[in-house]
A and B are shown apart, each in its own frame.
Chain A
Amino acid sequence: GNSVTQMEGPVTLSEEAFLTINCTYTATGYPSLFWYVQYPGEGLQLLLKATKADDKGSNKGFEATYRKETTSFHLEKGSVQVSDSAVYFCALSGIQGAQKLVFGQGTRLTINP
């Protein structure tokens, strides 16, 4: 079945540092890939997405590229801010109808000023 593996956290960085959160997946066919962010006490917000190989999703300075050859979708940001502190989830879905969104375990990110 489909699965997602994220790097374990928590991750603590200083403001303006470079961020990478690794995500790899196992899936049949060509899934859609997502990064969701969850701020404390809130629901999940879609951060970015990619639907086919070599697509790059980007939003709010975050980027991730759909790499089929390495089955990866790593999240990167060049200069993090304190406001980026949150839990980040990598996720995938199939493309045939309404399906389960398969999540990674989540990575808690803390940015110190």
Chain B
Amino acid sequence: DTEVTQTPKHLVMGMTNKKSLKCEQHMGHRAMYWYKQKAKKPPELMFVYSYEKLSINESVPSRFSPECPNSSLLNLHLHALQPEDSALYLCASSQVRGTGKGYTFGSGTRLTVV
């Protein structure tokens, strides 16, 4: 299995809602990432998990809360988002040692905040 699976593919939520994005991989990768991509821009790193522990938080607002319940799953919990948080949210995974082998990305969740 060489895929990263993200669900849902599309999500529309109100500013008072709570929702979660899910990411799953079965490649044995022990590093997982959340990126945010706005239209016509490159992805921007949000969080990195290494061996299921949060290792990098790129000063992301607390309305985004990541969780890594096990080595195959990564969640992003969303609460009280703003319209400017509308974007494509990408999950990725890689080996911890040997990132030169590449990062595998999921197809993303397109989030619209209304």
Q: Complex Cα distance A3/B21, Å? A: 29
Nearest B residue to A30, CB-CB: B100
Chain A contacts for B69, CB-based, 8 A: none
Contact A42:B107 (CB < 8 A) given known A94-B99, A95-B99: yes
Q: Within 8 Å of chain B (Cβ to Cβ): is A60?
A: no
Interface residues in B71-108 (C-beta closer than 8 Å to A): 88, 90, 92, 94, 96-97, 99-108
Q: Complex Cα distance A105/B44, Å? A: 11
Contact A98:B55 (CB < 8 A) given known A43-B105, A93-B99: yes
Q: Is the CB of B97 within 8 A of A93?
A: no
A/B pair count, beta carbons within 8 Å: 71
Residue of B90, B99, B107 with most chain A CB atoms under a 10 A cut-off:
B99
Q: Is the CB of B42 within 8 A of A89?
A: yes
Q: Within 8 Å of chain B (Cβ to Cβ): is A29?
A: no
Q: Within 8 Å of chain B (Cβ to Cβ): is A25?
A: no
Q: Is the CB of A98 within 8 A of B94?
A: yes
Q: Complex Cα distance A91/B41, Å? A: 13
Which 10 A-B residue pairs are closest in the complex by CB-CB distance? A98-B31, A103-B42, A32-B100, A51-B100, A43-B107, A98-B50, A44-B105, A43-B105, A43-B108, A46-B102
**Contact residues of B with A, CB < 8 Å?**
6, 30-31, 33, 40-43, 45, 48-50, 55-56, 58, 88, 90, 92, 94, 96-97, 99-108
- Given A97-B55, A100-B56, 20 more A-B residue pairs with CB atoms under 8 Å apart are A34-B102, A42-B107, A43-B88, A43-B105, A43-B108, A51-B100, A89-B42, A93-B99, A93-B103, A94-B99, A97-B99, A98-B31, A98-B49, A98-B55, A100-B58, A101-B33, A101-B92, A103-B43, A104-B42, A106-B42
